[in-house]
Structures are given as structure tokens and as C-alpha cells.
Amino acid sequence: MKLKPILIAFAALVVFAACQSNSVSKSVTLTNDIDSASYALGVLIGQNNKQSLDATPGAENIDLDIMVNAFLGQMKGEEEPQIDATSALTIIQEFFQKATDGVALENAAEGEAFLAENKLKDGVQTTESGIQYEILVEGEGAKPSAESTVTCHYTGTLIDGTVFDSSVERDEPASFKLNQVIPGWTEALQLMAVGSKWKIYIPSELGYGENGAGADIGPNSALIFEIELLEIAD
């Protein structure tokens, strides 16, 4: 658990919480350069750190009033902190690591249960590594190697159906080298012929593992992709 991104991200939460605590209106009047600079700083902090906050397990449980009280006390130099800086870093590390571990264990258990049930469904096949797939359309073209650059359309979802990425929605196929994506994609796409469309179920260890990715893919998340292999570029 890296503390620096968390502390930077919480700058946005501090601004939000301070506004709540002081009942500041959502609409403000900018009358001079200081007002504009202050507002601009808030915009940048919020936009640049929102995703980090959303992706940090445990952030939603923070008591905003307590946090803002400590923040303002230190910024104004009005009081000695009840917790010194060294202890504060340790407390933050342990708190967020515990929250992350809890989410990771829950995701792992849910993913294992889902895959155990899913593999029993008609039409679902399982590779030796644990990847599951359904053949929706069987193509007749060539199959890529691990070093190939491919072009495909795809939609990625969590096991609860949440869509986290889709080239189909963007209406723009994606091109990439197979040895530069998650292991589940590298393995599964080598089994597909050009023109194929498969639904692929990827265990977390062959996806983004214990780190997860972005705000939507938590640690130890099993993933589902519907992939259409359009072309092998080389």
C-alpha cells in the first residue's frame, strides 16, 4: 500500500469535507484573482484525484468532521496534534491495508464461487490455467501468437455485470500486442481464429490480480470479456 497517492487523493476529500463542514454554497462568486485561483485549485484537486479516492477501499468510511478538524488545526498551527506525524503514517498504512485486504478476500471468494458454478454451464470450456470460454462465433482465419499485434472489439465486465471498459461503446476497435496485456488475454486470444467472437471468463490471477485496476476493478476481481478478433496485424 503506497501512502503518497492516498495522501494526495485525500487532498480532494479535505476540500470537499471542509466545504461540507462550513456549509459553503455550491455556487460561489469569483470577484478577484485570489477567488479565481482558489476555485481553480479546487477544480484541479477534485478532478485529478477523484478516481484515486473512488478506488481506495476504506475511504468511504472516513469521518469527515474529525479529518477536517485535524487538517485545519495543523494548517493554522493552532494546536498540538493528538497523533504525531510518524504515528499518523503508520495508522494510515494499517487502516487502508486492512480495508484493501478485506475487499480482496471478499472479491476472491466471490470470483471463485462464480467460476466454479459457471464452468458447469453448457458450452463453457476450461483451459488448464483456469480460463473459461464460450464460443459465440467460430472464425476461420489465422490464430495469433503471443508476439502478434491484434485488432479486436471487446466489452469487459465484472461478474456482477458492471461494464468497466468497452471498445464497442466507443465504436473504435483496439489494437495491441498480445504480450503486453493481462495474461488471460494473452492466452485466450491465441486460441481464437480471426473472425471469432468468444466470451471469456478470467480468474483474478490471470487478470489484474491483487492490485486491481482503476476505480471499477478491485483487488482479486474475476473478469468477463466478450471479444471479437478482427485482425492480426503482424
Residues with catalytic roles: 154, 164-165, 182, 208, 225
225: closest CA among 174, 54, 49?
174
Query: Distances from the Cα of 93 to the Cαs of 2, 53, 88, 218, 230, in angstroms?
Result: 8, 15, 9, 18, 45
As a whole number of angstroms, the distance between CA 135 and CA 196 comes to 8
Element (H, E) at 201: strand 197-202
- Listed in order, strand segments (DSSP E) in 64-192 are 125-126, 132-137, 149-158, 163-166, 174-177
> Are the beta carbons of 28 and 19 closer than 8 angstroms?
no
- Judge contact between 174 and 224, C-beta under 8 A: no
